[in-house]
Amino acid sequence: MGSRKRISNEKIKEAKKDIAFAKLNNCPTSPRKMRLVADIIRGVEVQKALGILKYSKQHASDKLEKLLLSAIANWQVKNEGADIEEAELIVKTITVDSGRQLKRIRTAPQGRAHRIRKRSNHVTLILGTKEVKVKAEDKK
CATH of the domain at 43: 3.90.470.10
Per the domain annotation, does 123 fall within a domain?
Answer: yes
**pLDDT for position 140:** 52
Per the domain annotation, does 90 fall within a domain?
Answer: yes
Per the domain annotation, does 44 fall within a domain?
Answer: yes
Domain boundaries, position 116: 19-139
The string of DSSP letters for 77-119 reads: HHSTT--HHHHTEEEEEEEEEEEEEEEEEEE-GGG-EEEEEEE
Per the domain annotation, does 13 fall within a domain?
Answer: no
Per the domain annotation, does 14 fall within a domain?
Answer: no
Per the domain annotation, does 117 fall within a domain?
Answer: yes
Question: Residues 46-88: pLDDT tens digits?
Answer: 999 999 999 999 999 999 999 999 999 999 988 887 888 888 8
Per the domain annotation, does 2 fall within a domain?
Answer: no
pTM as predicted: 0.83
